[in-house]
Structure 1
Amino acid sequence: MSQKFQEIIDSERPVLIDFFATWCQPCKVQSSVLTTVKENVGESARIIKVDVDQYPAIASQYGVRGVPTLAIFKKGELLWKESGVHDVNTLTQLLKQYE
């Protein structure tokens, strides 16, 4: 997965990574928010979910200490990372900012 993950974040367009856990209630709220964000940004950005219980090494590599944690990458560079639930407008604006 780590090589595949690297290929994903090396993208020319922004990639929002949702570090989540299946047992996390706020993660479920964030997931529904991200569905709307994806509708807003269309193909200009990708949104990928990473289960921290299945891929703890990736979560650890990027300093994920709580879920949900969202991160935006472009061309392999971490541009933004923050824990907690975020709203549609904030995330849509962030992704458009990094287009």
Structure 2
Amino acid sequence: MSVMKITKSNFDAEVIHSDIPVLLDFWAEWCTPCKMLSPIIHEIANENTGKIKVGKVNVDEEPELATQFQVMSIPMLILFKEGKAVNTSIGFMDKEAIKKFLK
């Protein structure tokens, strides 16, 4: 499954009402660690099709979502299950660390 672009207009449908867990990556174009994390996020999405939904939130384009989830540093990953944030991580993580984060 490809990585979705999450905006305030599709957030409820894609994240809150998702029937599978959702991993959100809060990022920005100018953020070097975000750029390093991006290919790993795409790998995680492709390897977990049907088990987890993966989305990216550009904090510059979606300041309301960034504020709602108190995003102070990026990259920031938030794992949602049944519409609720259940795990949060700030900063770059390698693929193995993300796999542990998802469990």
Q: TM-score range by the shorter chain?
A: 0.7 to 0.9
The two structures have a TM-score, normalised by structure 2, of: 0.84
Give distance in 1, aligned partners of 2:85 and 2:34.
21
Q: CA RMSD in A?
A: 1.4
How big is the shift at 1:8?
Answer: 1.4
**Deviation sequence 1:58-84 (CA, Å, 0-9, x none):** 001001001100101122100111110
The Cα shift of 1:27 comes to: 0.3
CA deviation digits over 1:25-65, x for unaligned, max 9?
Answer: 11001101112212332221011011000000100100100
Q: Which structure has greater helix proportion?
A: 1
Consecutive unaligned residues in structure 2, runs of 5 or more: 1-6
What is aligned with 1:78? 85
Query: 2:3 maps to what in 1?
Result: none
What is the identity percentage for the equivalent residue pairs of Structure 1 and Structure 2? 31
Partner of 2:14: 8
Tell me, in whole angstroms, the C-alpha distance in 2 between the residues paired with 1:29 and 1:54: 20
Unaligned ranges ≥5, structure 1: none
Q: What is the aligned partner in structure 2 of residue 60 from structure 1?
A: 67
CA distance in 2: counterparts of 1:94 and 1:41, whole angstroms: 14
Q: Which runs of 4+ in 1 moved over 4 A?
A: none
2 CA distance for matches of 1:75 and 1:30?
A: 25
Report if aligned partners of 1:40, 1:92 keep a CA contact under 8 Å in 2: no
Contact map agreement 1:41 1:92 (CA 8 A) in 2: no
Secondary structure at the counterpart of residue 93 of structure 1: helix
Instruction: Report how many residues are paired.
Output: 96
